[in-house]
Every structure is written in C-alpha cells, then in structure tokens.
Amino acid sequence: MDLTYYQINSFATSQFAGNPAGVCPLAEWLPDDVMQEIARERGVSETAFLVGGNGRYQLRWFTPTVEIDLCGHATLAAAGVVFAELEPTAERVSFDTASGELTVTRSGELLEMNFPAWEPEVIALPPELRSGLGASPREVLANARDVVAVFEHEDEVLALQTRDDELMKLPYTLVIATAPSTTHDFVCRVFAPNAGISEDPVTGSAFSTLGPYWVKRLGKESLAAVQRSERGGEVLVEELGERVLIRGRVVEDFRSTLALEGR
C-alpha cells in the first residue's frame, strides 16, 4: 500500500517558518500501532491522519510517542491538504475528533479554525514549574490541560532555559510561558515534554487557553500573537464566547510516498 505523506508548515510567515506537521489522508484507518510508527519515523511534533470526504473527516493526531486529543497546527495542516488537494473547491471542512467537532474555513489567504475556549484560572505557583522554567512568573493559571506562566516582559519569556525532567512532573500537557509583546498583543513559548516535545514551534491549541486570558486582560476581541520558538510563527485569535477563532497561513514543505509493506 502506498500513502501520500504531506509535510505542511502551519502558522508560517515563510516557507521554513511555522510548525511542521505531517498529514496522511487514508481510505480507511490503519492499526493504531502503524500510525504511531509513521509518526515516530517522520519525526515532526505531530502527524495528522484523516479518513472521509465531502467536507467531513474523522481526524486523529499522533506525536512521535503518543496519540493526543487535540492539536491545532496539525488540524490547520490537514485542512490545508483538504483545500489544496482533496477538495479544492470547498470553503469549509469539518473534522470529527476526540475533542468534538472542529471546523476550518477559508478566510482570504488564511485558514480559520473554530476551537473550544478553555479559560484558565489562577493557581499557586507549583515548585516544579519554577524549577522547570528556571524563573518565577508574576502569575500562574491553569485549566484541565494547560498551565500558563505569565511574565511581565517579553525578554523574560525569550530567556527561559527549561528542564524537561522538572516540567514532566506537572500534570499538564502544555506548559505555556507568555507576556505582553512589543510587536504583537502578546508573545508565548510552549513546552510539552509530557507529549514528547521539549518545545513546540507554534501551537494552535494553546490559543484555546491563551485567547480567553488575553482577551480579558487587554479588553480586545481580536488579538495578534507571536510564538517565539526557533522557527516562530504568527497567530490571529478572536474570542466568541465558548469558542475561539484561530487564524494562520499554511505552506507546503514537501510531499512523499510511504510504501507500507504487506498492506
């Protein structure tokens, strides 16, 4: 069996920026262990597998080590493949996922994801967060999935030198560091060692948590954010009550053929 594998840069400002995701359209589901092996072999932070057609797909995401229940940049990448290759006349695509229905629509040159809003609440500073970040934030918030460390200045976020062994002691998928930005509304970095990722280049689903926080803090409905990883990327966020709209560009990096023996 031959599969087409696409590598797509999501939230990219240029060809070699943004967050690379693998996308594998399938006629039917492969065994879980095979999809996990494909994700491990390709080595990007997340690989999306999708089955379906006619504007509606089932979608699953795998890191190199584990299946996860939500991934923003790989959802954006999957939608980019649908719009560019599978259904080039479509304006909207729906994905059925472990986190419910997610929709992506064309928005000019951008793609717009409709994701759940997960407002975080203030918590005490966990000692593992302080030791894992190597710095003390001014405020710490969390929801069921993410913990957010808020700093006064952008430079503090950029200077962080993290320790995976300490951050892995925290009961969260994403560890997010954020601060006001001098060029955008806010800046962030995202660490996910519990998902096998030391630092994620650009993390779409993090804005389900960051959007509600910064909308309330800045008093603005629409925000421009930048994630300051080595590759970096820009994200536009708009809050809609219990949902957030997350917008960004996708750029195809390359495509290849995967030959699966005995299938």
Distances (CA, A) of 134 to 129, 185, 201, 220: 8, 24, 20, 31
Quote the distance between the C-alpha of residue 214 and its chain's center: 18
Q: How far apart are alpha carbons 150 and 174 in whole angstroms?
A: 14
Give the integer Cα–Cα distance in Å for 106 and 154: 32
Options 37, 46, 112, 234, the catalytic residue: 46
Backbone angle region of 15, left / alpha / beta, with phi > 0 → left and psi within -120 to 50 → alpha:
alpha
Is residue 84 helix, strand or coil? helix
CA atoms of 227 and 234, how far apart (whole Å): 6
List, in sequence order, every residue forming a beta bridge with 107; answer none if it has no partner. 110
Distance CA 219, CA 157 (A): 22
Enter the tokens of residue 201.
Answer: 């280049």
| Separation CA 112–CA 244 (nearest Å) | 10
Q: Which single residue is written with the structure tokens 């629509």?
A: 105
46 classed as catalytic: yes
259 neighbors 24 (Cβ within 8 angstroms)? no
Helix, strand, coil share of the chain (percent; to 5): 25, 45, 35
CB atoms closer than 10 angstroms to residue 54: 9
Q: What positions carry a catalytic annotation?
A: 46
